[in-house]
Structure 1
């Protein structure tokens, strides 16, 4: 049997065999292909002559694994493979199954992305050539070659948005920038010209697969990650499309928006979802792309498009029906997202100025009401086929008559699960509508326009629709067993946060609605008998109403002072307290709310109300501790109460609180025991934080009272000390139980430490902790260093102890030095990223806390600081560069720590190995181009310190002489910079490009290190300036040259603070002139280049 036959047999066994053993053996044999020296040849053999469909699929997947592996393949081999794949697709794509074509397109895209920045010996980008040819191949006839080119380009755009297969973030961002600057606008213009031509053709002559492929291409260009943020669209908040400034001419006149919404009207419903997704992106284009008048014009076109969709809603509901079976997001969902983006990207004052504002607001309000009511109705429709057809026009009134037969065929296979999907889809989609209304209401106080915003008319209707639809759905939950939306606590909380704002518009109507519904269902519950289904339904509705009442009361702002609204709140709270004996309202004793509470419940003041709340909290903690949701919410409420300046003093005097402070053991609260899961134990921190705050209100440095409070924790500490100091104790005590005791103790003590925010309190706590608790932690680290469930609580406690919050760590000198060794000796045991991030934070707190005199360490031969810094470098290297920025907290802690290390310990940094220093510079490059403001600020500060030091070293002739008690400076950093000059040149290029053509965060922070980069690399800066000017139109050359001259006007060859201040002012003016020039405006010369901007 020859090689091809063996490979085909294995592929077939993997794909068809029902015997798990045979499939496992085939999978193992084929997996060895990746490590084989013959991998590339055998995969190409399978692609060319392998049996369909399994041979090409296995070959494509294997090659993808090979490309993503660290070994990979040579560039010449990649070029050959890329050409082979294109030839294979060009000759056989019509005969191959679609999923194989997609797999091969993905393979081509990955190869092209990986080598996009590669140039051959002739300085040609050889991997760019196929892309250029594809763009010219596409024509309106929609032939096979055009379809293939569209699919390849769309796949390439999508793959560029992912870092998959890239060896580093920096290389990926370079590729993104080069692809963006060279081809994406051309691709975008091609897709728009095709869509424009399609809009002129008769819809009956259109080839829909070709139309959908063009829409995909246009959409993927707008979804492109223009600034290399490596983000996705999972976060809807503040999402903007960061199109380059040179694209502005394609957007400012609004014709593109009109074209897209015209296609929505013209094209069949199968294209609606893609068209509206493009509309979502157009509504999200960054505001700074336009000037004031252009932005208003653009907004008017977007609003006009939204109006056209609402006036022609057939395709929204039509798709919702048919997509429910396919489990996809219909056009309805995309339209809701588009509405949400209107208020995300534009301001209320701008929306009010739109001529169609009043009409669109009324249409949107009606649309929202119908959408909120449609979810429960869809479930009811699905119960019987006959009722659907009979009531189709009533419930799905937007469905055309000619589609009812299709709807009937669909419903023959449409089950309750499909209906539930549609219900979930409706809830997910209407969330975006509620987001729009919430943001509109939130903006009202900041608008001074005399025109009516119409929110007082729209919001009560929306609130009524929401309440009534949810109450109606309770019956279906009880009778038919559908999922209860309230079970999804996260989604419910998000919706309630929006409703809390919306309901305060014309609050009287909302309060009356909630009160009447509450009374009606309360009467049913009281009058009915146990087990009566009507009582169960009434109870379910009361749960919704209690939640909505809490939401409504919570929506009262601190600045509002409306006695009528206070009375309404009191009326609602009285009803809620009648059922649940608790309230989440924060109100004052003098408020009229107590008039109602006193008459109904005998609650005369805030103390009585707090007593009811505390009793309910303690009941929950005692009897519902196994329910993590109830436990978390109860403890969160207790913590919030302990933070209130007035409430906490009244709480302390309550008998229930005094009993709590004296009885906080596992005997009284189950969640303090060892039988609960580790995930539940984390709540102990909040519990002890709240208790300690209550205790310390009147503590007045009473150590005896503190000792009394800490007795249960002291007993645990003594027990652990006795066990862990006994030789060979592991055989006599359960290791799992012992770990849980240590974890619980660390969680508890961290809560206590958080609340001890003053110097005297922290001194008392530290005296209590040292040395027994530190010894326990040390022994635990030695014993369980590979157990993250133990390490994380220990490191979090250490991090909290190192926080110099409110200067609480300014106590006796000997105690300060004791903290540092116990912190740093933990480092060697961290093996998890999460714990590495915590360790970075611990060391950062120790370095900046101003409570450790670091000079004494080296002077007296203590290696503690040196060991800590060395461990920091080892942990930094431990995290792969490609994973580093996948963890936001780790990145923030790292850059904060690096900022302080290079400021105070630059000599240590200068002695690092050249490859380590180079890795640090690469990480700084990634940091200054981040989207996280915290990371940018710290990375720029760190870079500024490094450049200050390098500039001194390069301009200082003699080698620096070591000072007494200080580490001698090394030359490794100079070696790294000289041997790899691209390290700093890449940073300079990235920062200048971002400042000139992109969105800039923290411009002041970026300006500080930029001067050092320019002075250290004058030739690089000159070449960059020349290249940028040459790429501009001829009429802009003079403006750009003048702007670059002004950038360095008055700047000396030094890095003094004064010189940097001059450069920072010049940079602000420089950026403004460049932005205006790119927009095509005339830039008038200023009298002084040093003016404040």
Structure 2
């Protein structure tokens, strides 16, 4: 490319590549321009484009082509160093004037070169110092670029690349973690403190995102399943201990949660979720761990009191995840020792009850709350001391609230009797999530809970029996609702029978309550194939009910009949 005329033609092609709605036109542009990313002879021309092009799409082509070139790992060391130095100088000189997507692409290029050359030459590691130099400049734009460089550097180091052997990736990630990650996290915290005053939203988003990337780093070389929302303990190195014991570290994220920008508040909560998941052994002394826990509980207590930010679904979901982490990482006795435990527990119970009433909006979030309560009640037998756990008063209300919400959900949403893949009665995975914690809650105060279930089940059975004697031309929608409600009750009973434990009462009494609940389902089985019900096998609600009965039979057999049943049972 030797003339501005050919550069203008290239800019037209780039415009078509990124913006054209004509797929054939885009394909032609891509075919014509792919030489820039496949042939190393075009690297110098990419630099020419960056120096002289006037459209952001041409700059984007040059940058993305260079990313692909350096990912090939066949370029000479000197050439890679030259590209690295050129890009960093380019960002310093022209970065503030570039379109954001071009800036991001160039930063990704610098970070990719850095990672792929990490063990080849120490000069690649100078990117950390150069990024901090950006932060030291007076320009707000340069400050933002410096934070973005660190942000994408952490992401690049933490992310495996198909062009790099996994063992090499892990060695580089470990080296980077040991040498720079703590310093970068400290920079994110410093930036968060400095930017608490009135600044553009983007300036707040980048440091909170950087902090989240640091806390989400793969510290032990076993990445979390990306398809899962759950993760285990965050294995922070011991060198991070002083930073976490500083109360301002936790507080800054609670402060940023109060920011009106929901993307900032959600990421602040995500950071808190990870802080709440930090390995227990990081705190050598119990007082330090207790202080850390107290600070987390105090912050969540304030959110529960004010309800600030919880109208946003993303915030709501992350807050439920945060509450769910308390019993995963801390013992019930540690929670009890917090001065305001009683107030906190009451607020969480009230929040859970409201969430259950808002099941349509919070259905995916309630799982974390129920998980918290189930872990609390299963810890009660191991609790030492005389301090009351206060669970006797709160758990039955939550259990009843959940069961009631399931019954109401049928009336509200599923009366049309049409297939719905999102309906838990048709989605085994969703059903498992919703019922996983329930047996532990029910068996905690099993006598009152079983009576509550029976009091719901009996009228439904009576209504279902009465409908079997009526002509098929009756109100089909009403019958579908009844079948849906009974299906939920059968699933709930099946879930309870699947988990056998003795908490709060003897095994004999638990088995007696099991028998009372099972008797209602066995009574139901005698009705489902009689009268008008025998003509409804094609109805969705009837199929849902039949599936629920099959699951009940499987669980009942496993607990009381099969080879693995507890043969000492008197039932």
- Which bin holds the TM-score, normalised by the shorter protein? 0.7 to 0.9
* Within-5 A mapping of 1:616-1015: 644=563
Structure 2 Cα separation of the partners of residues 632 and 572 of structure 1? 14
Matched, 1:471 2:410: no
Determine the structure 1 residue equivalent to 2:128. Answer: 131
Determine the structure 2 residue equivalent to 1:370. Answer: 354
3-state DSSP of counterpart to 1:116: coil
Q: Give deviations 1:735-771, integer Å, cap 9, x for gaps.
A: xxxxxxxxxxxxxxxxxxxxxxxxxxxxxxxxxxxxx
* Within-5 A mapping of 1:251-262: 251-262=244-255
* Within-5 A mapping of 1:454-469: 454-469=390-405
Determine the structure 1 residue equivalent to 2:524. Answer: 579
Structure 2 Cα separation of the partners of residues 207 and 302 of structure 1? 28
| Displaced runs of 4 or more, over 6 A | 627-643
Unpaired runs of 5+ in structure 1? 120-124, 321-329, 377-422, 583-623, 649-1093
**Is the contact made by 1:373 and 1:465 (CA closer than 8 Å) also made in structure 2?**
yes
3-state DSSP of counterpart to 2:425: helix
Matched, 1:554 2:480: no
Determine the structure 1 residue equivalent to 2:69. Answer: 66
Match of 1:540 among 478, 481, 484: 484
Cα deviation, residue 186, structure 1 = 1.8
Cα deviation, residue 143, structure 1 = 0.4
Q: Give deviations 1:442-479, integer Å, cap 9, x for gaps.
A: 22222223211122222111112212222222123234
Matched, 1:240 2:233: yes
1:42–1:142 Cα change, 3 Å: closer
| Structure with larger Rg | 1
1:352–1:640 Cα change, 3 Å: closer
Structure 1 Cα separation of the partners of residues 158 and 252 of structure 2? 26
Structure 2 Cα separation of the partners of residues 10 and 577 of structure 1? 72
Determine the structure 2 residue equivalent to 1:229. Answer: 222
Matched, 1:210 2:203: yes
Structure 2 Cα separation of the partners of residues 52 and 467 of structure 1? 60
Structure 2 Cα separation of the partners of residues 61 and 629 of structure 1? 53
Cα deviation, residue 107, structure 1 = 2.0
**Is the contact made by 1:191 and 1:215 (CA closer than 8 Å) also made in structure 2?**
yes
Determine the structure 1 residue equivalent to 2:120. Answer: 118
Between the two proteins, the alignment pairs up a number of residues equal to 537
Structure 1 Cα separation of the partners of residues 38 and 252 of structure 2? 51
Determine the structure 2 residue equivalent to 1:513. Answer: 452
Determine the structure 2 residue equivalent to 1:176. Answer: 173
Question: CA RMSD for the aligned pairs?
Answer: 3.2
* Within-5 A mapping of 1:122-201: 125-138=122-135, 143-164=140-161, 167-199=164-196, 201=197
1:631–1:547 Cα change, 3 Å: closer
Cα deviation, residue 632, structure 1 = 10
**Is the contact made by 2:36 and 2:62 (CA closer than 8 Å) also made in structure 1?**
no
Matched, 1:308 2:295: no
3-state DSSP of counterpart to 2:433: helix
Matched, 1:353 2:344: no
**Is the contact made by 2:495 and 2:555 (CA closer than 8 Å) also made in structure 1?**
no
Match of 1:293 among 266, 287, 290: 287
Determine the structure 2 residue equivalent to 1:21. Answer: 24
Using the size of structure 1 for normalisation, the TM-score is 0.46
Cα deviation, residue 238, structure 1 = 6.1
Determine the structure 2 residue equivalent to 1:487. Answer: 426
Cα deviation, residue 150, structure 1 = 0.8
**Is the contact made by 1:238 and 1:344 (CA closer than 8 Å) also made in structure 2?**
no
Match of 2:324 among 340, 352, 363: 340
Structure 2 Cα separation of the partners of residues 647 and 186 of structure 1? 56
Cα deviation, residue 157, structure 1 = 0.8
Cα deviation, residue 375, structure 1 = 2.9
Cα deviation, residue 289, structure 1 = 0.9
1:639–1:38 Cα change, 3 Å: farther
Matched, 1:80 2:82: yes
Q: Give deviations 1:935-969, integer Å, cap 9, x for gaps.
A: xxxxxxxxxxxxxxxxxxxxxxxxxxxxxxxxxxx
Q: Give deviations 1:82-119, integer Å, cap 9, x for gaps.
A: 22223333333344332232222222221112222332
1:472–1:290 Cα change, 3 Å: same
Unpaired runs of 5+ in structure 2? 528-542
Determine the structure 2 residue equivalent to 1:443. Answer: 379
**Is the contact made by 2:234 and 2:278 (CA closer than 8 Å) also made in structure 1?**
yes
Structure 1 Cα separation of the partners of residues 490 and 190 of structure 2? 55
